[in-house]
With several copies, the nearest count.
Chain A
Amino acid sequence: MPDIRVQEAVFAPGKELDAFTDVQSGAGAVVSFTGVVRDDGGNLDEMMIEHYPGMTEKALAKIAEEAETRWSLAGALVIHRYGLMRPGDQIMMVATAARHRVHAFEAAEFLMDYLKSRAPFWKQERRGGDTTWVAAKDEDEDALTRW
């Protein structure tokens, strides 16, 4: 069962990575991805992430379970924040554990690609008094075709 967490609170990726790795006895290969709010050349004041409570957890669990099955993962972790965050803050992380490195890498990339376009999160950037909803990128949708 993947470990899925949708939360407003900050988290420490390193601590999560160590805790995740500790329980994957015999996995051999652990891959993590951490997404951080970019400072955008000092322009960005805040990022706000809205989500769809209920559906978010469901969508993430479905994606992570598919990854676990497809790559015979020893484990998978997804943490995604919502609410207000500032440049340098962690937005989210995924971690995958597998017997072989190629599987751990592929599963982590699959999780990220699906999570980008299939989990109900919406980013809003705040600069000065302006707010802008981040537009979805065609390349993110296109990334799904490889799986």
Chain B
Amino acid sequence: MKLDVLYFAWLRERIGHPKDRIETDAETVADLVEELRGREERYAVAFADISALRVALDQDLSDFDARLDGVREVAFFPPMTGG
């Protein structure tokens, strides 16, 4: 399946760009993270500690155990600091 993977805030800065378009067979968010870590050193560093990250699937907050069936957009980012 094809996924748009988005990065925000310091995660975006560490990876160096805001978006990847990825062809993947990952079944869960955790699988996808594992795959991203294998891409390049900066991905491995950026995703070293997922407890410092949040994930949204098709623009709804989700978690790292969630399945990716039918998902088109996955976003990773640090805890939010609005308000």
Contacts and interface: CB of A to CB of B under 8 A. Distances in A.
Direct contact of A and B (CB under 8 A): yes
A115 B36 CA distance: 29
A136 B59 contact: no
B77 A120 contact: yes
Interface residues of A, number: 29
B71 to A, nearest CB: 13
A103 interface: no
B8 A141 contact: no
A112 interface: yes
Task: Assign chain B's interface to a size class.
Answer: 10 to 19
B60 to A, nearest CB: 8
A120 B78 contact: no
Contacts of A123: 81-82
A122 B9 contact: yes
B11 to A, nearest CB: 9
Interface of B: 6, 8-10, 12, 56, 59-61, 75, 77-83
Given A52-B6, A116-B81, 11 more contacts: A49-B82, A80-B82, A116-B80, A117-B80, A119-B82, A120-B8, A120-B77, A121-B83, A124-B9, A133-B10, A136-B80
